[in-house]
Amino acid sequence: MKTVLRQLWFLVAKDLQIEARSHQTLGLVTVLGILILVVLGLGLGRQELASGSSATAVLWVAYLFSGVLCFEKTMSVERQDGALAGLMLAPVDWGLLFVAKLIGNLVLLGTLVIIITAAGVLFLGFNVMAGFWPFVIITSLGMLGFAAVGTLFSAAVSSSRLAGGLLALLIFPICLPLVITSIQMLLSVFRDANEIDSSGLAILIAFDCIYLVISWLVFELLLEP
Amino acid sequence: MNKTFFQNWGSLVYWFLTLIAFAVGVWLVFAVVPTEETMGPIQKIFYLHLPIAFNAFLVCTVTFVCSVGYLWKKQGYWDDLAVASARVAVLLCSIVLLTGMIWGHSAWGVWWTWSPRLTFSLVLWLLYVVYLVIRPSIEEKGRRSLVCAVYGIVAYLDVPLVYLSVRLMPDIHPRSIELAPEMTWVLLYWMLPVVMMTVGLLCEGYSVQRRVSEQQNQTQYATRQTATSIHPTGELT
């Protein structure tokens, strides 16, 4: 167990160190996320945003598109100089590679969500303090499932000749149940000032568990140097 | 030659019987079963809508099972059956959505409403459309089958959600339906032509897909043979 945790730590630290040195992924996806916020914010107008029903959906659109680019970039790093082939030859369980990639992606997504939400507070007038903890719980659960599916299919796409846009095509329909449930729950909290919905929460947790288990099981089948 | 002749005749007879079964179903709906008081004649669309929806779930299950089968055995026929079933799933889901929209327009006055079951049915249709759309984008056959098998498994998660959405979330669809006995019998009868149609489409789709795969295998083999017979200097060996 100690060896596994040590290996996991090294794998996650490797990904985060690469990102800390290059700032390639986070810089790019943050700018894309803010751009989406600005474009949609301008399109919707002040009155629509002030009603409080649009801001959560706009934020989720920004998370999704930036997230897809994030998955693409983190997996494409492994393709350079045969890094993935090296990892696959290392005496590490391939399932652990999935967990490490997932944790790396979650750290990046978490940072992305914080920055984009802060931009949403600034540009869209989104009052996150009206339901801060429900927002944190719902978004975290949504992001966990999204990251599991994203990490799985980024491995499939990066080793084939699929164009980048097709990763979004693969991930979005699969994540739609998660996205719909998350947005509905956020709307209930921010627009209708309700408590967090327990049946919605159960759906989110169920989806996260299923996505995590399936992704972990089939990830190594999709790995190709 | 004879085998092809009988296969074609067998298929023709099968589709003819299916057509007769549909004709009997239509006669039952319009001549035997009484018209529902509240909804009027538009309610008769229900006899097609429910069996098609049920069969759409079944076909999605076939895609799921074949995807698991491909990951387990890595045999091409699993992938071929998965593609054929995904095509039928898209067709059936389209019919379910269309008949549902016609019903919705009559019952609720709108063609579309974002209720959980309708939304998740649309997501199901989208998932299987994407399954078919991404296939040509992956050139290498083994890789394509592998990615699609994984996608087929993950996409299936939406099926229980479509079914359970009415129980888990507030929806305009009823949780259970009470029908007059003759309505129930006619509804059960309609399962027959729809199942026959689904099985027929699956078999036809599978045989077409199998032929396409064999042709692709032969082309890939011929390309590989040509590539290996050319010497690095460019001369044919």
Tell if the CB–CB gap between B147 and A156 is shorter than 8 Å.
yes
B88's tokens: 């039928």
Q: What is the pLDDT of residue A21?
A: 85
Supply the ipTM of this predicted assembly: 0.79
| Selected residue of B124, B150, B168, B169 to mutate for chain A interface (largest A Cβ count, 10 A) | B150
- Nearest to A147, CA basis, from A98, A80, A79: A98
Q: What is the pLDDT of residue B104?
A: 86
Q: What is the pLDDT of residue B129?
A: 94
The model's pLDDT over A112-159, given as tens digits with 9 standing for 90+, comes to: 999 999 998 888 888 888 889 999 999 999 999 999 999 998 888 766
Q: What is the pLDDT of residue A34?
A: 92
Residue ranges per structural domain of chain A: 2-222
Q: What is the pLDDT of residue A184?
A: 87
Q: What is the pLDDT of residue A149?
A: 92
pLDDT, chain A, mean: 86
Tell if the CB–CB gap between A224 and B157 is shorter than 8 Å.
no
No. of helices (H) and no. of strands (E), chain B: 7, 0
Q: What is the pLDDT of residue B237?
A: 47
| B36 SS3 class | strand
Instruction: Give the Cα separation of B151 and B67 in Å (integer).
Output: 8
Q: Low-confidence residues of chain B, pLDDT below 70?
A: 1-7, 166, 169-176, 228-237
Instruction: Give the Cα separation of B73 and B80 in Å (integer).
Output: 13
- Collect all residues from B whose CB is shorter than 8 A from any CB in A: 71, 119-120, 123, 126-127, 130, 133-134, 137-140, 143-144, 146-147, 150-151, 153-155, 157-158, 161, 168-169
Contact B85, B59 (CB under 8 A): yes
Q: What is the pLDDT of residue A164?
A: 62
Q: Low-confidence residues of chain A, pLDDT below 70?
A: 50-52, 158-164, 225
Rounded CA Rg of chain B: 22
For residue B45, the tally of other CB atoms under 10 A from its CB is 17
